[in-house]
Every structure is written in structure tokens, then in C-alpha cells.
Chain A
Amino acid sequence: MAIDQDTVMKVAHLARLHVSSEQSAALAGRLSDILNMVDELASADVDQIAPLAHPLDVSQPLRADIAEPADLRDRVLPLAAASEGGCFLVPRVIE
């Protein structure tokens, strides 16, 4: 499967990655190579095999519903670019 530069730019936007048009040409080639390999895998006959969500044959361990202190804000807020009133501050987002 071949990937064009437009697809590269779209995926880059979704992942919030800055990709220049020069880079996108090279990336299109490399991503196409990767997908070609996936195509090869996809050609294997797996009709009789259940989809695999996880490679380990174990199920999810569960945790008891008991609260533990989790007040880290005096330690994490100073790491943020901006904070006020106990909140992280970010450029205004409104919908």
C-alpha cells in the first residue's frame, strides 16, 4: 500500500507533529515500505484465529476500590508552563 504526501501531512496534523514538505516526501516513502510489510502480513490466512488484543495469555488483574492520597499538586504545578489557583493554565480553548 502506497502512502502519498497528503496522507502523511494529515496524519502528522492528527498527531500534532510538525512535518515540512521536504520531510513529507521522504516519510511517504518510508511509511509505504512499512505498510507494504503489513500488507504481506495481512495476506496470511488467519480465518481460523481469533483476533489478538494482547500477546500475553493472561487477563487483567483488578485493584480493590480503596483510595490512597494523591495530592501532588504542589509538586507538579510548578512544572507547568503556567498555573493559577491550583489549575494548570493553557491557551484558551472554547467550543
Chain B
Amino acid sequence: MSAWETVIGLEIHVQLATKTKIFSAASTAFGAEPNSHASLVDLALPGTLPVLNREAVNMAVKFGLAVGAEINRRSVFERKNYFYPDLPKGYQTTQLAEPIVGTGSMEVVLDDGSRKTVRIHHAHLEEDAGKSLHEDFHGMTGIDLNRAGTPLIEVVTEPDMRSAEEAVAFARALHSLVTAIGVCDGDMSQGSLRFDVNVSVRRKGEEKLGTRTETKNLNSFRFMEMAIRKEVERQIDILEDGGSITQETRLFNGDTGVSRAMRSKEDANDYRYFPCPDLLPVMLSEEQIIELKNSLPELPAQRLVRFVEQFGLSDYDARILSSDLATSDYFEAVVKLSGDAKLAANWIMGELAAKLNAEEKAIAACPVSAEHLAELIARLKDNTISSKIAKQVFEGCWNGEGSPDQIIEARGLKQVSDSGALQKMVDQIIADNAAQAEAYRAADEGKRKKMFGFFVGQAMKASQGKANPQQLNELLQKALEG
């Protein structure tokens, strides 16, 4: 047991899924030619003025409502002043004293099924900076301002997480929430969600928080987990050697797994915030908030509870199946068509998930349709096929050989449930293995169990796996024990 307790708070930049930027009508589409989506406002040309995007405001409010947060009827944009080449105005337009979303919270289900509440300190609207490209410019830095002005909400949590696992579970839950309510596309590879982690450690039982460091811009759950583990180790090593932690910003290199302190910028935190004179306070009406509240779809947390109650799933299964909309829709479609939630859950989290993983496919691109999986489950339930044969049929569906019924027909996989045919086969097996049958009859109860398996194996071999296992067992038992 470690003598140390880890304390983690997160700041998450969520890129909002608007079509245009927060203060200009330039497109936010990813992957365009450099600087081809940069308007006069984004380029910060003198004399231009920002005009706020209604959709960005709506999305921020939706997020706030989804985490049960206070929605501030009035919020104010401020200027955060600093110089960096990818910030052409010389300041970032953001919110500080009066953010749009106040305190809220999110409940997270951990791997062991336990629940954890993480408080949200606030969330504010702001603009993203452009991109600095350090490669390919022979010692210079290239600046692409397509991303400049992309709307973000920065979500700031309280330091409520106590391990890398909890932080990652929260991050995943946040990812599923923002994608479910449609305010973010969730594409981590394009930086749609970026995490800053604040980590400190303290001796167990200690009230006072230790000095924290901030590791910036982690864009995958795996890197986040690695960065936190490394940072906790680093801090504990320093403290156990009698040293002290320097409050600093660190960068984590996911490829090498190494973090380092950012070159400390003197006066870096002297941002001289002040209310932006170019923007008026943002006012929200009750009607607008109610309308946005009514527009929210079922949230992943609500879906989780419903899956448990409606389908009798375990918390763990429900969490996996409710985490993203595509998976839950698929699951619900299979349940609806097959009428069996338990089998649907088992197949989706078992065979299907393994295949998707192995071929790095998203469920949206799954070659086995919900209709086909439901049909497969139906054939299992009506004893047309055994679960062993079902796996073969699933393979066939995955490879595009047709529907389960077509595959069962074409490959002749129908389970033999004709008791006459099975009886004939059982008689033949016992006749062919008369010595073993004698030995079975002479053996005591304990040994019989093991020996019985031999006959089942023979029968399955003879029927090429198609014998109805239940019927087969009964017939074998009868024949052997007379």
C-alpha cells in the first residue's frame, strides 16, 4: 500500500461541432489547405469586429444542462493577453469571472462497477488558437490559422479524482456525453478533445493539497493515463528523496513516454485579463434555456440506468453498451429484433467487439448488421444451431456470405434435433464403443462424469457438431444407463 494519495483535476478543451467559428463566419472544417479558412476577423486585421455564433452559445448551454450545472443568464467575454505567433490578435477571447456554465457534476461508473462523482467547477466559452508547425520549414515555424477562432468550451473540474483510472474513466464519460448531445464530434485524432491534467500527491491522511504540476495537451486516453502515472511516480520520488515539487507546466511525449518541464516563461501567468470591449455581455432568456433543455437527447448516464432497469444488464455491461450512441443503437436494435437482451449483450461485447477490435473497425462500419445478429440469436434460441456452430455462422456473416439463415442452409449447419436420427447415431456409437460403454456402467458416479464426455465428443464428431446438445445428452444418458 502506498503511503501517498494522488489528487487529480482536469481541464478539458472541447471543440464545439459548429459549422463556423465562434466570432466569424469562416468554416471550421478540418483538413483544409493551410490558411484557407481564415477570415479577416480570424487574421485579426485592424478594424474588424467579432460577432458571436449563436450555435456555440447553445452548445455550451446544452453541455451545462447535461451536467446539471447552473447556467449563467449573463456571461462576459474577456481578453487573455499573451504573445504567440498562432494568436494573431495578441489575446485570446475567453471568459473568466463570469463564465456561461457554473458549477455542476458528473457521475462516473468505474471498472469495478463503483460510482464516483466528479464536481465541475465551471465551463467557459473561448476561441482556439491557430496551429504552429515546426517541421518542414527549415528552422522556421509555419503558422496555419484555419483553427484560429474555432469555438471551444473549457471544462474545469475540481481536484476530485484519486487515480489515473478515475481520471480516464471521467475523461471517457465526458467524451461519451459531449458526443451524445452532439456538441463535439469526439474525434481525438483531430484534437477535438484535449486534456490538461493537474497532478499532485500528498501523504495519506494529509488535508492540505501538495504542489501540483500541469501536463498540457494530452489528446488520447492512453497518453493521459501514462502521463499521470509517470508524473505521480516522479513527484513521489522527489518527495521521498526530501525534495520539493516545483509548480510548473509540463509536456508529455506519448511516443517516448517522457515528460519535461516547459521552458519556464517569465511572467507567463500575467495575462492581464480585462472585459473585451468588442463584445457585449451574453444574455440568456429562460425560454431559450428551456428550449435547449428539451432538445437534449437521452444522456449516456440515463441510458445506463435504463439498460440496467429495462434489460436487467449488470452495471458493467450497461456502461459499455451505453457509452456511445452507435453501440447503444446497435444493441437496442438487436434486442428489439431478437427479444433477448442478455444474448444480444453477450454477442456484442464478446464476438462482435473482439472482431471489431482486431480489425480496428468502428461499430458503425460493422459488416454484421443488427438484423443479421438478431437472426443469429433467434436461431440459437430456437435450437436451429448450437452456440459452437453460431460462431461459424457469425464468421460467415462477417465475411459477407449472407444472412445467418442463408449461411446455415448453404453450409448445412442445421442442428440435428430429429430424435429418431439422433437415437440411431447414439446406438451406433455405443455399439462401436462397447468396451467403453461397459466400463462406464461399471464405474462409480464420480468417474462417470468424465467418461460421459467421451461419448458426447464421439457424437459431436459424428454429427459434425450439429447434434442438439441437450437432446444428445438425454439420449446418451438413457442408452448408457439403460
| Chain A contact residues, CB within 8 Å of chain B | 10, 13-14, 16, 53-54, 56, 58-68, 70-73, 76-77, 82, 84-95
Contacts and interface: CB of A to CB of B under 8 A. Distances in A.
B36 A86 contact: yes
Interface in B271-285: 272, 275, 277, 279-283
**Residue in B57, B275, B281 with the greatest tally of chain A CB atoms within 10 Å:** B281
Contacts of B144: 86-87
B283 A73 contact: no
A87 B37 contact: no
The 9 A-B residue pairs with the shortest CB-CB distance, nearest first, are: A87-B142, A70-B26, A65-B55, A59-B283, A86-B34, A70-B39, A62-B54, A68-B25, A60-B280
Interface string B104-147: 00000000000000000000000000001110110111111100
Contact of A67 (B27, B137, B139, B251): B27
B209 to A, nearest CB: 26
Interface residues of B, number: 56
B38 A63 contact: no
B324 to A, nearest CB: 24
Given A60-B279, A70-B42, A65 B140 contact: no
A53 to B, nearest CB: 4
Given A14-B272, A66-B20, A73-B38, A88 B143 contact: yes
A95 B86 CA distance: 13
A70 B280 contact: no
B376 interface: no
Interface of B: 18-20, 24-27, 33-40, 42-43, 51-57, 74, 76, 81, 83-85, 98, 132-134, 136-137, 139-145, 251, 262-263, 267, 270, 272, 275, 277, 279-283
A16 B83 contact: yes
Given A53-B76, A67-B27, A93-B84, 5 more contacts: A53-B275, A66-B19, A68-B39, A73-B35, A87-B137
A16 B275 CA distance: 21
A73 to B, nearest CB: 4
A53 B97 CA distance: 11
A59 B74 CA distance: 9
A46 to B, nearest CB: 16
A68 B26 contact: yes
Contact of A89 (B20, B141, B272, B279): B141
Given A10-B267, A66-B20, A70-B26, A89 B52 contact: no
A87 B34 CA distance: 6
Contacts of A90: 85, 140-141, 143
A62 B57 contact: yes
B38 A94 contact: no
Contacts of B27: 67, 70
Nearest to A16: B83
B283 A60 contact: yes
Nearest to A87: B142
B39 A72 contact: yes
B26 A67 contact: yes
A95 B262 contact: yes
Q: Considering residues A10, A13, A70, which has the most beta carbons from chain B within 10 angstroms of its beta carbon?
A: A70
A67 B141 contact: no
Contacts of B280: 54, 56, 58-61
Contacts of A87: 34-35, 133, 137, 142-144
B33 A59 contact: no
B57 A73 contact: no
Contacts of B251: 95
A76 B24 CA distance: 17
A73 B20 CA distance: 18
B39 to A, nearest CB: 4
Contacts of A91: 140-141
A73 B27 CA distance: 14
